[in-house]
């Protein structure tokens, strides 16, 4: 008798779960979609085109998960405005940053737009890259009071960098001599992990893009940026090799946003992004 009751309870539970999940499933198609007005229509079948931007979800201030649980950031807001302008349905897809181009190729997203540094190797591999939109530099972030004043002081010290970022490429190529003076270059799967490693004393410095460092220093106490420009570079948006027209369309929309002042308005929200470095505003 007891066994039968337990079986009954279990069966009810399983049934409830199955129907419950099925119910959820019909409402949203996956966890990566953000508040799209009509998410139940499958992508591509209706007249409204869906534009999926690929972002690194841990890359403030350009792209990150906001306090309300929705993806936000400078790049995300600009892309949203672009989609509004062009009448596209806007979607966000969080990529695995070290495999972003593979994910772009496999149509998981339509562009990679997330504080992405333009590398020559991307162009050589055939990707369509938009006009650069941001002048970036690489800096070293260290703990306050650690006494490191320049990159030379870090000889024999461990430095963390995010895997797949331009900083990591720089340390492997143009800044190889500097990297060789470090005791170790530790690659992490996100910048937030790099910062955790620094906070927990597992490394002595983090090699990172200036706006990311600025935004981190603004929100966390006890960190300083070594004022030394270690590598100038530019951000761009990557599209698949056949999407030259799409790229032109997006660039055109950004130009329109610049003209009507929306772009500057979005930029004003992000203090950590130096407006002087935003190339579309020049």
The residues that touch other proteins, with contacts defined as CB under 8 A, are 98-99, 101-102, 119, 121-122, 124-125, 158, 160, 163-164, 168-169, 172-173, 186-189, 193-194, 196-197, 199-203
- For the chain, what's the residue count? 282
Question: Which H or E run contains 215?
Answer: helix 210-219
Is the CB of residue 92 less than 8 Å from the CB of residue 34?
yes
Shortest CA distance to 165 belongs to which of 185, 184, 180? Answer: 185
> Which of 74, 235 has the CB closer to other proteins?
235
> Which of 150, 201 has the CB closer to other proteins?
201
> Which of 65, 158 has the CB closer to other proteins?
158
> Which of 17, 125 has the CB closer to other proteins?
125
Q: What Cα–Cα distance (Å) separates residue 34 from each residue in 24, 65, 84, 131, 193?
A: 15, 11, 14, 27, 25
Name the minimum Å distance from CB 138 to other proteins.
15
Name the minimum Å distance from CB 100 to other proteins.
9
Q: What is the DSSP letter of 221?
A: T
Q: The tokens of 24 are what? A: 């959820």
Name the minimum Å distance from CB 52 to other proteins.
21
> Which of 116, 273 has the CB closer to other proteins?
116
Name the minimum Å distance from CB 49 to other proteins.
28
Name the minimum Å distance from CB 275 to other proteins.
30
Determine whether 116 is exposed, middle or buried from the number of CB atoms within 10 Å of its CB (0-12, 13-18, 19+). Answer: buried
Look up tokens 């309300």; give the residue: 68
């Amino acid at each position: 008798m007891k066994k039968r009751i337990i079986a009954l309870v279990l069966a009810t539970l399983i049934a409830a779960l199955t129907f419950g999940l099925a119910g959820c499933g019909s409402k949203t198609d996956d966890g990566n979609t953000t508040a799209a007005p009509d998410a139940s229509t499958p992508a591509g079948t209706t007249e409204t085109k869906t534009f999926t931007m690929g972002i690194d979800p841990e890359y403030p201030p350009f792209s990150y998960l906001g306090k309300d649980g929705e993806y936000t950031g400078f790049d995300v807001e600009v892309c949203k405005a672009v989609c509004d302008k062009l009448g596209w349905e806007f979607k966000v897809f969080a990529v695995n940053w070290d495999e972003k181009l593979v994910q772009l190729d496999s149509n998981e997203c339509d562009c990679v737009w997330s504080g992405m540094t333009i590398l020559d190797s991307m162009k050589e591999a055939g990707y369509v890259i938009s006009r650069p939109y941001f002048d970036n530099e690489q800096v070293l972030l260290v703990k306050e009071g650690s006494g490191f004043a320049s990159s030379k002081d870090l000889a024999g010290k461990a430095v963390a960098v995010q895997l797949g970022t331009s900083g990591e490429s720089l340390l492997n190529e143009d800044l190889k001599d500097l990297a060789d003076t470090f005791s170790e270059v530790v690659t992490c799967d996100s910048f937030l992990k790099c910062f955790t490693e620094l906070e927990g004393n597992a490394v002595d410095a983090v090699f990172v893009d200036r706006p990311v460092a600025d935004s981190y220093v603004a929100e966390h106490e006890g960190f300083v940026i070594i004022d030394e420009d270690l590598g100038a570079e530019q951000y761009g948006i990557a599209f698949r090799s056949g999407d030259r027209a799409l790229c032109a369309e997006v660039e055109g929309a950004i130009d329109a946003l610049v003209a009507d002042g929306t772009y500057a308005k979005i930029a004003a929200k992000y203090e950590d992004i130096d407006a002087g470095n935003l190339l579309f505003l020049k």
